[in-house]
């Protein structure tokens, strides 16, 4: 197998950069970028913008034109080998007599996998594994949905340094500063859906829309409301595109889709809710809820990542905490996290962490 060169690394880094252009738009498809080089000269670039649109390889090959014969194609996800909304990229690569294809990772979707083997069978050099970790991070939600049958769940929490997220009455606007709130909207924008609970709707009456950053589409807004108590004039209904999960039989009409998913206690069956969202094409689920729903999601192992903004302040006793959890009886029983990143955002501190 030909070892990857410094130029190969540079081209894959560029492919990932191009793929990230689809951060807010490709749902439910993966984010994919492609670079084509003849020798060490770039002759074509492309990225997948939205479902139903041309794939990154198609755009890059179209830009390269006749110069593509004998070239090397770099792409962050194995070229597809199936007929979906568009034709298989493998066929186009073979037709244009590309000599070598380097993919960061193989396609985890069983419906689309096998592209690399098909290329190799046609005499085209195929390698994968270059910057694979970065490629998986870019499409962490897509990988989760097609391999686990559930979205990647990212729980956003804004808290004081003593871990308080709201006053005793539930009011939480605003604990963090403007820069952190704007940063939080970037994370909202990349998600396919935003989840909250009825407690937050009652306390803050949020819209849960992306407002502080430009976005071509608004994520689906999801509410967990076991007893279907939501007010008909709640601001979350503005603009439509709302899905409510409840545990009771709906007896009134609301400006939203309502789905009943009761568990044994009449509340919402949270793991089944995640499976339903995956069936709807949700790759990344962004949670902005109160301490009770946060605790329930964590207890039922429905959280993959924590996005926590700490404000340099204290609220003290009586204020609400981050999670409603039973206390550990020993230090060994505590839930341990692995910190992925720590960044300062304005006056606040942002920590991205995952269960260890």
- 57 included as an active-site residue: yes
CA–CA dist 195, 301 (Å, integer): 16
User: 33-38 and 41-47 as β-strands: parallel, antiparallel, unpaired?
Assistant: antiparallel
CA–CA dist 346, 25 (Å, integer): 27
Give the active site residue among 45, 57, 269, 284: 57
- Letter string b/e over residues 223-240, b meaning 16 or more CB atoms within 10 A of that residue's CB: bbbbebebeeebebbeee
Query: Collapsing DSSP states into helix, strand and coil, what is residue 252?
Result: coil
Q: Going by C-beta distance under 8 Å and a sequence separation of 6 or more, which residues neighbour residue 316?
A: 162, 164
User: If you search the block for the tokens 């020798």, which residue do you land on?
Assistant: 39
Query: Collapsing DSSP states into helix, strand and coil, what is residue 11?
Result: helix
Q: How far is CA 172 from CA 26, 71, 159, 308, 343, in A?
A: 32, 56, 9, 14, 22
Strand partners, 220: 193
Closest CA to 346 of 179, 176, 161: 179
Q: Which tokens hold the place of 262? A: 């009761």
Q: Which tokens hold the place of 122? A: 């046609």
Q: Going by C-beta distance under 8 Å and a sequence separation of 6 or more, which residues neighbour residue 144?
A: 150, 151, 152, 283, 304
List the catalytic residues. Answer: 57
């Amino acid at each position: 197998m030909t070892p990857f060169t410094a130029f190969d690394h540079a081209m894959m880094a560029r492919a990932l950069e191009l793929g990230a252009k689809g951060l807010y738009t490709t749902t439910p498809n993966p984010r994919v970028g492609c670079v084509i080089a003849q020798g060490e000269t770039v002759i074509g670039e492309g990225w997948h913008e939205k479902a139903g649109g041309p794939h990154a390889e198609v755009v890059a090959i179209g830009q390269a034109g006749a110069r593509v014969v004998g070239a090397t194609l770099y792409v962050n996800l194995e070229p597809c080998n199936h007929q979906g909304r568009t034709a298989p990229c493998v066929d186009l690569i073979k037709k244009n007599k590309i000599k070598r294809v380097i993919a960061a990772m193989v396609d985890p979707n069983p419906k689309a996998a096998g592209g690399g083997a098909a290329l190799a069978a046609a005499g085209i050099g195929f390698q994968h594994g270059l910057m694979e970790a970065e490629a998986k991070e870019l499409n962490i939600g897509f990988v989760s949905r097609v391999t686990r049958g559930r979205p990647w769940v990212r729980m956003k929490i804004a808290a004081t340094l003593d871990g308080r997220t709201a006053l005793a009455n539930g009011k939480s606007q605003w604990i963090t500063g403007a820069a952190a709130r704007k940063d939080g909207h970037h994370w909202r924008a990349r998600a396919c859906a935003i989840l909250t609970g009825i407690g937050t709707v009652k306390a803050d009456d949020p819209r849960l829309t992306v407002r502080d950053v430009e976005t071509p589409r608004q994520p689906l807004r999801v509410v967990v409301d076991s007893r279907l108590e939501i007010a008909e004039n709640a601001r979350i209904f503005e603009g439509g595109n709302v899905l409510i999960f409840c545990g009771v039989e709906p007896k009134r009409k609301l400006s939203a889709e309502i789905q009943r998913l009761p568990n044994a206690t009449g509340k919402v069956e949270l793991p089944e809710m995640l499976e339903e969202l995956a069936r709807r094409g949700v790759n990344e689920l962004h949670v902005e809820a109160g301490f009770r729903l946060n605790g329930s999601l964590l207890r039922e192992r429905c959280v993959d990542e924590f996005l926590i903004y700490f404000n340099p302040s204290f609220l003290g006793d009586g204020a609400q905490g981050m999670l409603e959890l039973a206390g550990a009886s020993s230090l060994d029983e505590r839930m341990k996290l692995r910190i992925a990143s720590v960044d300062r955002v304005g006056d606040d501190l942002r920590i991205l962490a995952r269960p260890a």
